[in-house]
Structure 1
Amino acid sequence: MEKIGLFGGTFDPLHIGHMILAEAVREAWKLEEIWFIPSHLPPHKEKASVSGRDRMEMVRESISQNDKFKVCDLELLRGDKSYTLKTVRELKERYPDKKFFFIIGGDMVESLGSWYHTEELMEEVSFVGVNRPGYSFGTDYPVSKVEIPPLSISSSEIRERMERNLTIRYMVPEPVYFYIKRKGLYEHE
């Protein structure tokens, strides 16, 4: 049975921390692939700053050089709140020959108790969490931990830098940097 990592997120925008996290988990757990799943309406955040299509294209362009990374548009096509439980159940139904692992950062590990139907979700998928600076990884739920090099980059920091007209080059994969520039994303008047 193929082992697949599911990496959901707003990816607003995708940054190098996301890429490092995905590769570290793939290697540590010997996963065949990592599927990046851009959310439509994340239940724990406000809506994204740019469209789902732009976020998906940034992911698609960034992962194109890694044949172990795929993009899954399931949540964007569904068009409602992006509840992990719905996504996992639908993927398990579509791909019964695959075993899924849901990848989350330390910030999400600490908030698992507030997720939509957490108890049911724990029965559906195994969680793999990664350390993140500033978070303790504290949870009562079974989450396996993968250590990654500490890297303090966040999508919100990138958006703030863009708002202040500061560079984000080298904080995001090169395709994301050029996509943002080409489309004029995150620019404020």
Structure 2
Amino acid sequence: MKARLGLLGGMFDPVHIGHIQAANYALKLLKLDELRFIPCSTPNHRDRAAVSSEHRLNMLELTTEKYSTISVDPIEINRLGISYTVDTLSAVQKSHGAVQLVFVLGIDSFNTLLQWQNWEQLFKLCHLLILARPGVTMQPLVENLTHLSDRRVDSVKSLFSSRFGGIFFAEDFKQDVSSTRVREALRSNKDVSAVLDKRVLTYIKSNKMYQKL
């Protein structure tokens, strides 16, 4: 059986418990050999990060160092400039040969797919695992585009029956933590210890990050 590698991209500004829950969920559901967080440097379709790439990378490493199957790949930060998911997936695929790639993303991000650079090429590189988010309707993009609807599978077995090109919707994934709300809480001096790794929280305080504007 080919190795299965999951990639979860994002700003991670900051990384929080929801990201770890998503990683562990994907690992268990898809029986992945490894999941890597891919922090982006300069996203093409989102606002800039509140803190530097270096800080976001450091916080990710602090959070993931205790997990044997979750790691951080700085490929996009090292590349500098605008990050395109298709370029990252292509680079990872070339460096890993026959590995089966799964790109993990939330339904809110998936619903912006048509704005992504060369988005059609994604399906020649990986499968997509789409995670539910409270308040965001599942599947609108797939329902409106026949060629995407045809890619939807209803089981993990079906997803991995081909090397790439499938879409699996994880409608039972439940988590409602967002980096935006974490930043707002930090700026208001609210307790966020339940959603941040304590080492990350110490790092944030030591570096005086996410303070009131």
How high is the TM-score relative to the length of structure 1? 0.94
* Alpha-carbon distance in structure 2 between the residues aligned to 1:98 and 1:123: 13
Give 2:185's aligned residue: 161
User: How is 1:18-167 mapped onto 2 (pairs within 5 angstroms)?
Assistant: 18-138=19-139, 139-140=141-142, 141=148, 142=151, 143-167=167-191
Summarize deviations over 1:95-135 as a string: whole Å, max 9, x none.
11422100001111221122111111222211111111111
Q: Does the Cα contact within 8 Å between 1:15 and 1:172 map onto a contact in 2?
A: yes
Mean CA deviation greater in 170-179 or 7-16? 170-179
C-alpha distance in 2 between matches for 1:19 and 1:104 = 13
Bigger mean CA offset, 119-128 vs 73-82 = 119-128
Q: Distance in 2 between matches of 1:69 and 1:148?
A: 22
Q: Hey, what's the Cα distance between the residues in 2 that align with 1:182 and 1:30?
A: 37
- 2:138–2:171 CA contact under 8 A, matched in 1: no
Q: Structure 2 CA distance, aligned partners of 1:148 and 1:48? A: 29
Question: Contact conserved, 2:15 with 2:56, CA < 8 A, in 1?
Answer: yes
Deviation at 1:165? 2.1
CA contact (8 A) 1:7 1:34 kept: yes
Q: 1:181 to 1:68 in 2, by over 3 A?
A: same
Residue of structure 2 equivalent to 1:171: 195
Which runs of structure 1 show a deviation greater than 6 angstroms over 4 or more consecutive aligned residues?
A: none
Count of residue correspondences: 189
Q: Which amino acid aligns with 1:163?
A: R
Find the aligned partners of 1:116 and 1:41 in 2 and give their Cα distance: 14
Identical columns (%):
28
Deviation of 1:171 (Å): 1.4
List runs of 5+ in structure 1 lacking aligned partners.
none
Per-residue deviation, 1:28 = 0.3
| Distance in structure 2 (CA, Å) of the matches to 1:159 and 1:45 | 16
Kindly name which structure, 1 or 2, has the bigger radius of gyration based on alpha carbons. Answer: 2
1:5-16 map, 5 Å = 5-16=6-17
Do 1:21 and 1:148's aligned partners in 2 also have CA atoms closer than 8 Å? no
The residue identity in structure 2 corresponding to 1:164 is: S
SS for the counterpart of 2:102 is strand
Q: Given that residues 24 and 148 in structure 1 are in contact (C-alpha distance below 8 angstroms), is that contact kept between their aligned partners in structure 2?
A: no
Partner residue in 1 for 2:208: 184
Q: Distance in 1 between matches of 2:127 and 2:198?
A: 32
In structure 1, what is the Cα distance between the partners aligned to 2:3 and 2:174? Answer: 29
TM-score, structure 2 as length reference: 0.84
Q: CA deviation at 1:147?
A: 4.0
Preserved contact between residue 25 and residue 146 of structure 1 (Cα < 8 Å): no
Deviations 1:61-84 (A, max 9, x none): 101111000110000000011110
